[in-house]
Amino acid sequence: MISSKLSSLIYRDETIKKIEKKIKLLGINAKVNPYTFMNIRIISSIFIFFMVLYLIDFGYILAPILVYFYYTFLPNLYFDSKIRKRSRELDYDAMYFFEILALSLESGKNLITALNSTSKSINSSLSLEIREVVRQTNFGKSLDEALDDLKERIPSDTVNNIILNIRESNLFGNNIIDTLYNQIDYIREKLVLENRAYIAKLPLKISIVSVVFFIPLLLMLILGPVILNYFS
């Protein structure tokens, strides 16, 4: 693979930052290196170009078009579905995590101690991110800076909104517990509405599957013997 120094000369800083931003949204456990991803993208693009050029008669026309779309949209195809899945997972994690956090704060713990104890008692993607926040504060970062870094690793607008409210409450001395309970109620309502919308779409999906697969099969079973008798 091309080294990161050479890659930084090949790719624009803007392109590298876009890929790094998407990788951050996959969380602290993301094992994707931006330079490795971009090198694989360009090598696979060259491979696809010559394969299409060699295998298809009009490859000299199709190859540049296919490679252009592949190279342009590969980051979105690879990262966006993972980011959407993680965003939904974090929404589900948030409802339970922040409810436990509110209970910890009600017991008299300060915010850092409550974040630490809550993240250790829950095994989830959000807990891992909060543990990183606590680790950063232990190594000298302020809580405000650590929470600001956390927002760059969270693709969920709902969770980011809670993080922003926690930062503001901590900064201005507002009641964090009331803020958390309000956000928990909002998340619960949001998830209920999303699940209702998903359930409402199920009949349409089932109808499409029935039309595409079951009805042709049923017609074949009914009309098959008739057609065979006719030709025999």
pLDDT of the chain, 232 residues: tens digit per residue: 455 555 556 777 788 888 989 999 998 888 888 888 888 898 999 999 998 888 887 778 888 899 999 988 998 889 999 999 999 899 888 888 999 999 998 888 888 899 999 999 998 899 999 999 999 999 988 888 998 899 999 998 889 998 988 888 877 777 888 888 888 888 888 878 877 777 776 666 666 666 666 666 666 767 667 676 766 6
Using alpha carbons only, what angle is made at residue 159 by residues 157 and 162, rounded to the nearest 5 degrees? 110
Query: Which of 84, 105, 133 is at the close of a domain?
Result: 84
- Asked, for residue 214, whether it belongs to a domain, the answer is no
Tell me: do 165 and 186 sit in the same domain: yes
Here the CATH number for the domain that contains residue 188 is 1.20.81.30
- Asked, for residue 26, whether it belongs to a domain, the answer is yes
Tell me: do 120 and 45 sit in the same domain: no
- Asked, for residue 121, whether it belongs to a domain, the answer is yes
Report the predicted TM-score, pTM, of the whole model to 2 decimal places.
Answer: 0.74
User: Cβ(152)–Cβ(158) under 8 Å?
Assistant: no
Cβ-proximal residues to 133 (8 Å cutoff; 6+ apart), any chain: 115, 143, 146, 147, 149, 150
Q: Residue 84: helix, strand or coil by DSSP?
A: helix
- Asked, for residue 222, whether it belongs to a domain, the answer is no
- Asked, for residue 10, whether it belongs to a domain, the answer is yes
Tell me: do 103 and 125 sit in the same domain: yes
Tell me: do 94 and 155 sit in the same domain: yes
Tell me: do 67 and 26 sit in the same domain: yes
3: left (phi over 0), alpha (psi -120 to 50) or beta: beta
Overall domain count for the chain: 2
State the DSSP code for 29: T
Domain extent, residue 166, equals 88-192
Tell me: do 94 and 186 sit in the same domain: yes
140: left (phi over 0), alpha (psi -120 to 50) or beta: left
- Which tokens is 220 given? 């074949």
Residue at token pair 């109620």 = 185
